[in-house]
Chain A
Amino acid sequence: MRHVNQGIPKLDAKALITGRPAYTDDLAPANCLVVKVLRSPHAFAKINAIDTAAAEQLPGVACVITHRDVPRHRFTMAGQSFPEPSPYDRLILDRLVRYVGDPVAIVAAETERQADRALKAIKVDYEVLEPVFDPAKALDHPSIIHPEADYHVNHDIGNDPNRNLCASGEFCAGDLAAAFAAADVTVDQTYETRANNQAMMETFRTFCYMDHSERLTIVSATQIPFHVRSITARALGIPKQKIRVIKPRIGAGFGAKQTLVSELFPALVTLKTGKPSKMVFSRKESFTASTSRHAMRIRVRLAADRAGNVLGIHMDTLSNTGAYGEHGPTTVGLSGHKTMPLYNKAKAIKFTYKVAYTNTMSAGAFRGYGATQGTFALESAMNELAEKLNMDPLDLRLKNLVAQGEVMPGYYGEKLNSCTLADCIRRGKEMIGWDANHPCRQISKTKVRAVGAAITMQGSGIPNIDTASVEIRLQDDGFYTLMIGAADMGTGCDTILAQMAAEVLCCDMDRIIVSQVDTDHSPYDTGSYASSTTFVTGTSVIKAGKALIEKMITMAAGTLKADPGDLEFNGTAIFAGSPDGKKAITVEALARKLAVGNGACLSATATHSSPVSPPPFMAGFANIELDLETGKVVVKDYVGIVDCGTPINPNLARVQAEGGIVQGIGMALYEDITYNSAGKMMNSSFMQYKIPSRKDIGDIRVAFESSYEPSGPFGAKSIGEVVINTPAPAIANAIANACGVRLRHLPMTAEDVVMGLHARER
């Protein structure tokens, strides 16, 4: 293949690296009103009164908006297809504020300084209520976080707002009681993951203006332009056709931008004032008033026979969705459904879950989306089971691994058509030097090197829901415009989709141009999340490319007076017999001809929605150095072996994997959103919330064991999310191998290791 499976540079590489203005704030008009939000200092309170008179009188202030002035339609900010599974539990501004940071008033002024001054001049009288922060205590707590009568759900998600229960459910297959009755060995442990911040380098930002036809235009750093359109329409109570959403280049998202965060405030200001406005979140605001990863407490019960056959798995998850239910009912599902199927040989599986509201910041989407949390729990439990069985953890996995051709009851009954996970494990085992280093090697009096491993799976899009349309137009010099609605957030999907188009249309990459997403022009796409873009949108690209070739052949047949069945297409020409022969026309000549008086400019549209979501797989291996005196853990070497089907662009796939692994290491060792006893976030800057720097990271080595997914474009599956899941359990395993301390909560700090060592001595 000429373009697919090639490490082609990203289309926007040179422009972005050399600093060309291309991001939201670079494009905002200079005369935008500056929008700022006054936020609640209380974790739970009722607003008795707000006095905005003084603020409104200040110079430069264009408007001050409070809960009295906003539309009363409850909605969710989660970017999901309608009818959304997340509950409608929000207003743009509400009388009840549910976490420290919840918006209380919106201010727009001519300058930032003026807006800041106006914020300070607003007087709010709060009636402080008793907050609840622990999800286990929140259930049936006397403080009800969502008492509103107009709370609404679109689906039966097992919720009960009066109990602070956002969602609950149960799934089982097989006879779990029988599996445990037959077991020789069992494990029963509870694991805890923490809220993490996505921490993309570009904070949330949006600017808005009214256009020449009195429509609201929203330019925003978002992964979900079409969902922004529909959520804004609902929240503002205006028809969708009055809204246009444009997505410029964005400084990454990792799921954070799969939820509306900065959009609604300037949208409301522009609608009210008629003036352009913009809102740029500070880093602190990005930390304290967006969405984090759902913190989860997951109990895992495993049953196995003496030979190491896993007989039964039960996972029970309690998830903290915080003040609002964005992605609450859905992330939790992945903690079980995208973990247990790894051990599909188990005769019985059971998954139970509850999602609780609390008075912390709302949780939301973050790369891995619940599978990450579940993987830490299940993979840690598997490593504990291996220890009990006195078995090599890799052998235990190989013995129980799901295999190609199997139907997976725990994975929505899907059949697995591509999987090289066993090869991933074997290859990684060799690369990390497992046999020489397992379980550990003392390298000095105080330092130990040890290895640990974990495996994981994810999905490729949401089956039967994610929908991607693509249009390819033949332009008048014989080049093509690829119109997509999928949002490149730095992942390189524009490039990858162009590679697929060039492959189908047999042309050079420079004959494909990819348009930015604009809901007025781009074909519909649910957006870039759930690892859907390569798999779902990619398939649409192939369909549209083939359809366009058909159309070109039909038009050429008319011109050449030939039977379309006799014609061939080779990328540069359409011909019968030989491209240099009599019956031939170049694509360029055909395109030119069509542009003049022919009434037929060619374009083809295709839409794809997949009935299945084939899982990509990965095996991750950590080689750590642990200091027995200080407890400090350094990841010296991390090996990740990935099965993403055919990597469409191996360079970009590799960098996705490397980046995901490093985020996973951050999550494993230090990233942790903490709140004080009043519910105030204690680490709201990069000074306090440390993400890995280049000095924290040892070698990261990635290799591919490519399978071929028959339902994917050119055999591809997804890559974006699966790569973040293995570090936490692999490092936990390595720590246990190094010093015998099993850490069952994240992050695993030096202090935790030392405390564990002391506890062992006692």
Chain B
Amino acid sequence: MLLAFTQLGFSSILALVILGIILGMVAYSIYFERKIAGWVQDRYGPNRVGLPTLVGDLLPEKYGKFHFWGLGQPIADGLKFFLKEDIIPSHVDKPLFLIAPCVSLIVALIGFVVIPWGGQVAIFGQVFNVQVANPDIGLLYILGVGSMGVYGVVLGGWASNNKYSVYGAVRATAQMLSYEIPMGVAIMCVVLTCGQVRLEEIMASQVAGWNVWNLFYHPVAFIILWITMFAETNRTPFDLAECEQELVGGFHTEYSAMKFAMFFLAEYAHMITGCAFLAVLFCGGWDPIPFVRIPLFRPEDTGIIAMLAKMAVLFGKVAFFMFMYMWVRWTVPRFRFDQLMRVAWKGLIPASLGVLAVAIAGLYLGLHRTLWFTLPGNVAVVLVSLWVMSRAKDPVSGREANLPPLTRSPELGVQA
């Protein structure tokens, strides 16, 4: 009883609750992923497995069979994964093969602990942080843990002893290395703007004063971070590690049943943590509307209801970003590998360095928290990159460079 009244006790309870929420969200993200895939392609998506199937069947005949929009699908999927035969091929490196999915899942599931889910809460006069852990280096922790995600992929690909899997793993590594750089630089802009690496302090600085979210100081940095999030989580258009057309299944080719499901869950858990991270860094975390103070959502509101409302807002933002993940996935085709590298090294890294320069200049001049300095700075970065783009040669790819020069045939009226 006493234990529950320390921050440790509160954190433990919160960890369990949030873990439950995240696992539930993972299950239903998979459901919505399939739904959205269906809708984009003018289909219905899964709509057969009714949640309490019995209720659907007990309804009077005249209503027809009601399937509850297929909401039972995640349960059926989970059951399927548990009941399938779990094959360990004879040619794999067994210990690593078994460790890889665990590493993936564990790493994806410990990321959320430093996210400030709902400011502070006072229970019987005791004030707690609504945050499982509160290290000084919250931001670095989440960066480090996020990057560890690639270990599962690499281990799995290597242990599978299969060329395609190794290709997938190697691609994932190269991609991760390239996209960590613009990601880190974009985050640096936030750190410079807020002068903090503790996530809850970054949050606090966004809800102080005029409630200006970091998004408005550095929109370009926000977009860059968002793009690199797609790459970090191996999502389309950057899912080269598992692209089916070239690599069968990439790093998880040899995995089946629950071990495959663990990779799958890890991907979605990673996405959810990433979305929460993005929301906290740039979009004001649990603050519903920028530039306005709403009762219930001030830092000094520490009631339980305020905490729940704040958590709801943050999870709403997470849901929005998850939807964006899926929407993009079913819109944008996958990049080719050289395009992927070009986007990172010739696009995102210079642009992010530009934004960083703006942020540093702002800090030097003491204008790092003034919109009229940082916003034009960001616009200038965009304009400069447009100017460079318009002067750049068309990217040459594949055999184009080796073609002979164009022959001109005036008699055919061909303008070569």
Whether A associates with B in a native complex is no
> A-contacting residues of B (Cβ < 8 Å)?
none
> B-contacting residues of A (Cβ < 8 Å)?
none
